[in-house]
Amino acid sequence: MVVDALPLRAVAANVIAAVEHGQSLSQCLPSALASLPATDRPELQALCYGTCRWFHRLDGELHQRLKKPLRKPDRVVHHLMLVALFQLRHSQQATYAILNETVEACRALDKPHLTGLVNGVLRAAQREGEPEPVTPTIQYSHPEWMVEKLRHNWPEAWAAILEANNAQAPMTLRVNASQITRDDYLQWLTDAGIEAEATPYAPYGIQLASPCGVDKLPGFADGAVSVQDEAAQLCTTLLDLAPGQRVLDACAAPGGKTCAILEHCPELADVIALDQSAERLPRVQENLDRLGLSATLMEADAANLDQWWDQLPFDRILLDVPCSASGVIRRHPDIKLLRREADITPLAAIQSGLLTSLWKTLKPGGRLVYATCSVFPQENHRIIQRFLKQERTARLLEPDVAWGITTPAGRQLLPNARSHDGFFYACLERIDE
C-alpha cells in the first residue's frame, strides 16, 4: 500500500482497498497513520473505521449510482468515493469541501481521467440524498451471509444485533480492586469532570458517558484502572478464584483477562499466560507491568501440550478461544469485510481441539471457563454440547447470574448498543471418572 505524500482521503481510500484485499485495520492502518501529520491522524482513523462500518450500505448506494463498475486498475477510486459518501452521510463536514478534496485526492491517486465521474457521482448523491435501502444487507450494512446466519440463529433478535454492531461502542473501564474501590474511583472521575456510571453486571466495571484518552483517566498510569468491555470482565466472576490456585489463561494476548484474574485474586499460587503469538505477548507484559502484576508468560500453541505443559494440573482454566469475533464488530468493523461464512467451520474445529486438549491439564474438581466473543451457536453452545457427549469427566455448571441468555450449554450475551459486547461463556467442572 503506497501512502507517502498522499492527501488524507487518498490515504483512506488505500486503507479501505487493503482491507477489501484481506488486511485488517490493525495491520494496514498504523503505517497509513504514520504517513500523515499528527493533526490529521484522528480524522483518518475516523474515516477508515466509519467507511468499514457502513461499507455495505455505502457500496450499495454507489453501485446504484454507477452505470457500470470501474475497471480493476481503477478500483481505488471506488474506495475513494465510498470514503466521500461516508462523509456525506455521516459527518458534519461541509459538502463543498468533501467534493473538492475528493476530486483532488483522485488526481493524487494518478486517476485524473476519473475526476469528472467522481464529481458527478458525489454531486448527485448530495443533491438526491441517500436512496432507500433495497435489501437487509444494504439497510443494516452487513454481508449477506452474516445477515442470513443471524436471522436463522436469532430470529427475534437479529435486527437488534445488526443495529448494535453499527453503533459506536462505549468506553468501559475495569477498576483495579487491589488498589481502589469502584465507588472511590467513580468519585475520582467526578472530580476530574468525567461522567460515568457503574456497570450492572461486572462488579468492577465503569462505563463512561463519552470516550476519552487514557491520559485523562485518573491513576491510569499507576494501574488504578484498565480499559475492558463489561462482557469480557465477567470471566473472573465465573472462574471462582481462590488463594493458592494454579490458573491458566490460554490464548491470553493482549492480557486484559490475565490482569483481571490477578486483580480479582492476588493470592493465586501461579498464573500462566499462554499465547502462540510472539508479537502479541509483549503487550501482555506491558499491561502486567503498568498494573504491578506478575504472571508467567509462555509462547506456544495451547493445543500442543508437549510444547509447554509441565504435567502439573491447573485448578482453573480460562479458554478464550479464537473465533469469528462476531460479537465485537462495533469495535472492529473491518470484520464485516474480512470474515467469510466459510471461516466458521474451521474455527469451530480449532475451538473443539483446544477444549479437548486443555481438558487434560485440568485437576479433578477444577473448573474451565470457555469463552468467545462470538454470537454464532456453531462456535458456542454447540461446541460445548458435543464436548459433553464425548467427555465423561465433564459436567456443565449453571452459574447463578443475572446476565445473558440461557442456551442449551452456556450463556450468551448479545451485543447491546448502549453497553456490553457480544460474548459467550460456559463453565465446565472436571469430575472423577
Convert the pLDDT of each residue in 104-143 to its tens digit: 999 999 999 999 999 999 999 999 999 999 999 999 999 9
373 part of the active site:
yes
Q: Given this model, what pLDDT does residue 67 score?
A: 87
Which grid cell is 210? 463519552
State which H helix or E strand residue 13 sits in: helix 8-20
**Half-sphere exposure of 80 toward its Cβ, with a 13 Å CA cutoff?**
32
pLDDT digits (tens, 9 = 90+) for 41-98: 999 999 999 999 999 999 999 999 998 999 999 999 999 999 999 999 999 999 999 9
Average pLDDT, the chain: 95
Which pLDDT score, from 0 to 100, does residue 1 have? 43
Name the catalytic one among 28, 52, 251, 373: 373
Average pLDDT over residues 264-282: 92
Bridge partner list, 368 = 317, 428
Cα 246 from Cα 16, distance rounded (Å)? 44
Average pLDDT of the segment spanning 308-333 = 97
Predicted local confidence at residue 372, as pLDDT: 98
Over residues 142-167, the mean pLDDT reads 97
Quote the CA–CA distance of 291 and 271 in Å, as a whole number.
Answer: 15
pLDDT band at 278 (very low <50, low <70, confident <90, very high): confident
Q: Indicate if the pLDDT at residue 262 is higher than 70.
A: yes
Please tell me the predicted confidence (pLDDT) of residue 2: 42
pTM comes to: 0.94
Within 246-295, strands assigned E span 246-250, 270-275
Are the C-beta atoms of 145 and 324 separated by less than 8 Å? no
- β-strand partners of 196: 208
Quickly count: other Cβ atoms within 10 Å of residue 400's Cβ: 5
Interacting residues of 230 by C-beta distance below 8 A, sequence separation 6+: 172, 199, 201, 202, 205, 207, 419, 420, 421
**Residue 310 near residue 240 (C-beta atoms within 8 A):** no
pLDDT at 3: 42
| Each residue's pLDDT tens digit, 383-401 | 999 999 999 999 999 999 9
The phi and psi torsions of 377 (rounded to 5 degrees) equal -55, -30
Percent of the chain with pLDDT over 90: 96
Give the mean pLDDT of 141-149.
Answer: 98
Q: Is residue 280 predicted with pLDDT exceeding 90?
A: no
